[in-house]
Copies of this chain bind each other. A is one copy, B any other.
Amino acid sequence: MGTKIDFPEHINELIKSNSVFKHLDDEQILELSQEVTHSQYKKGTELYREGNRSKGVYCVLAGVVKIFKTGLEGKNQIIKFAKSGDIIGYRSVLSEELACSSAKVIEEANICFIPTDSLTRLINSSPGFTKEMLLMSCNELGEANAFITEIAQKSVKERLAEALVILKKDFGLDKNRCLDISLTREELANIVGTATESIIRLLSEFKNDNLIELQGRKIRIIDLQGLIRISGMY
């Protein structure tokens, strides 16, 4: 087993991180490995910003990045979180448009960067790669459509309950059964699409109803079924 060619460790990790790369042959990987850069990013780093020209895509190997759009009065809407295995920023690169969202590191992250030209070459030379990208895009599209319906039809309380359930699914729980992601109240509000104050009041309501416990930003899940019931998921 093992690769025949001795690629840098971050390239091996990159390839393992996402199935889009699985069809590439050694030659394509070699070429790619000479163009991919790799960095550690601190919390708060902005990877790209809405309205700017994209220079390439980012592949998250570790850490967490939030993807968001800024509305009229500077209020942000979080579209998704990217974590290990996620590729972000590809939409504007492929459509050759300005970035339509911003990306900011919210947990120290380990990220590879693939320049536009390299990505374009992969698309043109590897049908398998393109096909995997297409699948990825379709999956995100399905999630986005579900999100639209949810935000349009459910109450803030239902949406918050669902957000907690989804965060639990995506990031899991630590040893204390707390959500393994640290978000400010404002960020929670920017997921749910509501005011910070509403989040605070609902979280404390959930606490009173013995669904969760709170210690600062730590949210301990006590009654997952209860949250699912409130969220109206099925």
Contacts and interface: CB of A to CB of B under 8 A. Distances in A.
Given A95-B138, A135-B94, A151-B152, A69 B145 contact: yes
B149 A148 contact: no
Interface string A97-133: 1001100000000000000000000011001001101
A167 interface: no
A232 interface: yes
A168 interface: no
Nearest to A71: B153
B145 A100 contact: yes
Contact of A79 (B69, B130, B148): B148
Nearest to A194: B152
A223 B42 CA distance: 49
Interface of A is mostly: helix
Contacts of A92: 142
Give the number of copies in the complex: 2
Contacts of A145: 69, 79, 100-101, 144
A230 to B, nearest CB: 12
Interface string A182-195: 00000000000100
Contact of A77 (B133, B135, B141, B153): B153
A146 B193 contact: no
Nearest to A91: B138
Interface residues of A, number: 40
A159 to B, nearest CB: 10
A72 interface: yes
Contacts of A124: 127, 131
Contact of A149 (B77, B138, B141, B153): B77
A72 B148 contact: no
Nearest to A101: B145
A19 to B, nearest CB: 13
Contacts of A91: 138, 141-142
Nearest to A95: B138
Nearest to A68: B149
Contact of A142 (B72, B77, B97): B97
Contact of A144 (B97, B123, B127, B141): B141
Given A92-B142, A123-B131, A127-B130, 5 more contacts: A69-B148, A69-B149, A71-B149, A77-B153, A148-B148
